[in-house]
Amino acid sequence: MKRTPFYEIHRSLGARLIEFGGYEMPVQYPSGIVQEHLKVRESVGVFDVSHMGEFEVRGRDAQAFLQRMTVNDVSKLSEGKAQYSAMCYDDGGIVDDLLVYHCGDSYMLVVNASNRAKDFEWLSMHITGDVTVNDSSDRTALLAVQGPKAPATLQKLTKRVLSAIQYYRFVRDSLANVDMMISRTGYTGEVGFELYFEADPKKASEVWNAIFEAGREFDIAPVGLGARDTLRLEMGYCLYGNDIDQTTHPLEAGLGWITKIDKGEFVGRPALVAATNKGLARKLVGFTLPDRNLARHGYELKKNGKSIGQVTSGTFSPTLQKGVGLGFVSPDSAMPGTVLTVDIRGKEIPATVVSLPFVRRS
């Protein structure tokens, strides 16, 4: 397994390490997933997400290439802006969901760790014109600093006025005396930043220590992949491999807002147009469960005793203090307020369809 530049720090903090996306990653620290989750919701937490993949796309035809390869409208990006997007196969199935950054003379794509090799091959086999795609993942460290106190923590470490960086915008500047890309993005629903910089263990240690010293007054804490998953699920964010994959198209997954059918041709567009014209066969919905009942990936969803779909993600929400989940159901069962049941180890547990996100942040 690969290791991020922060590996020795995770070990020294007593993190429980697991394999994820080919990396040895912290799933939780001794404080536990619930406490880490609440720390991000109430104060500030730090995630090592250096396992994510980063690709540099350059050349005169880079914009046209990405316009053809992704579902969102790359032409709407200007330097310093980012957008959430996805790549599709010809049949409309999702290759991956990703971020696209406009870096001036190039673009940066941030892809899921488990899809890095597949994504790079997919992009490479579609290159035409003056375009180069380089994998810079192993040279890139990435920390996510998230929570209401994230701006106050990081502001101590840079002269850049962080409050001036709007959502899905980024700047290049120095933070903790290290040159980096400071991005107003995240996967938690909280205010926060993602920091991209050189993957040097010494530099990584200096940045980590500086952030934790700056956040000491807010009782800053490290956060693992376990709480990363519960935080994203409370917001209704999709996770590739659970809620979306090659068998899912963006429209049925609630990603129509990033799928710009009218922008012109792109890979998968004809299949998505056909699906729109035919009508969706299923929709991804959020649902809540009473008490501590947990719906797991693959559990059956039923209505009036009849199977209508499957759970894709489920967890106990530390914020709401009850079970929440995502799953695909038939369109006639997708309205908020609809009562379904989840087959949990042979018992039919009521589940109520609700509007997403589960937790609404200011």
Phi, psi at 140, each rounded to 5°: -120, 125
Rounded CA gap, 213 and 5, in Å? 19
- The 3-class SS string of 257-284 reads HHCCHHHCCCCCHHHHHHHHHHCCCCEE
Give the pLDDT confidence of 280-296 residue by residue, as tens digits. Answer: 999 999 999 998 899 99
- What mean pLDDT is reported for the chain? 97
Instruction: Say whether both 274 and 287 belong to one domain.
Output: no
Q: Got the DSSP string for 153-207?
A: HHHTT-SS-GGGS-TTBEEEEEETTEEEEEE---SSSSSEEEEEEE--HHHHHHH
Domain match, 319 and 233 both: no
| Domain final residue, candidates 220, 247, 278 | 278
Burial of 204 per CB tally in 10 Å (0-12, 13-18, 19+): buried
Q: Residue 81 and residue 131: Cα distance in Å, rounded?
A: 21
58 and 64 Cβ atoms separated by less than 8 Å: no
* Parent domain of 257: 1-278
pLDDT at 362: 67
Binning pLDDT at 50, 70 and 90, where does residue 103 land? very high
Q: Name residue, tokens 């567009």.
A: 269
pLDDT digits (tens, 9 = 90+) for 61-80: 999 999 999 999 999 999 99
Q: Is the dihedral of CA 67, 73, 76, 77 positive or negative?
A: negative
How far is 214 from 149, CA to CA, in rounded Å? 11
Task: Tell how strand 178-183 and strand 192-198 pair up.
Answer: antiparallel
The reply to whether 171 and 221 lie within a common domain is: yes
Assess whether 168 and 303 both reside in one domain: no
Is 120 in the same domain as 176? yes
Going by their DSSP bridges, the two strands 221-223 and 45-48 should be labelled as parallel
State whether 306 and 232 are in the same domain: no
Looking at the fold, whether 193 and 233 belong to one and the same domain comes out as yes
Q: Give yes or no for a contact between 156 and 211, defined as CB atoms under 8 angstroms apart.
A: no
**Average pLDDT of span 227-232:** 98
Domain end: 224, 255, 278, which one? 278
- Pair 251, 298 in one domain: no
pTM (2 d.p.): 0.97
Q: Count CA atoms within 13 Å of residue 281 on its CB side.
A: 8
CATH of the domain at 298: 2.40.30.110
Q: Once rounded to an integer, what is the mean pLDDT over residues 220-245?
A: 98
pLDDT of residue 56: 98
98 and 170, same domain (yes or no): yes
300-331 pLDDT per residue, tens: 999 999 999 999 999 999 999 999 999 999 99
Give the confidence band of 361 by pLDDT, cuts at 50, 70, 90: confident
Name the token pair of 196: 């991209």
pLDDT digits (tens, 9 = 90+) for 174-214: 999 999 999 999 999 999 999 999 999 999 999 999 999 99
Asked if 268 and 303 sit in the same domain, the reply is no
Question: Among candidates 196, 169, 163, which has minimal Cα distance to 184?
Answer: 169
Q: How many domains does the chain have?
A: 2
pLDDT at 165: 98
Check which CATH number belongs to the domain holding 228 and give it: 3.30.1360.120
Judgement on whether residues 15 and 141 belong to the same structural domain of the protein: yes
Pair (22, 152) in one structural domain: yes
pLDDT at 335 over 80: yes
The domain boundary, picked from 259, 278, 297, lies at 278
Question: With 80 as the cut, is the pLDDT of residue 272 above it?
Answer: yes
Q: Strands, DSSP E only, in the chain?
A: 16-20, 23-28, 45-48, 53-58, 82-88, 94-102, 107-111, 132-135, 140-146, 170-175, 178-183, 192-198, 221-223, 283-289, 300-303, 306-317, 322-329, 339-344, 347-354
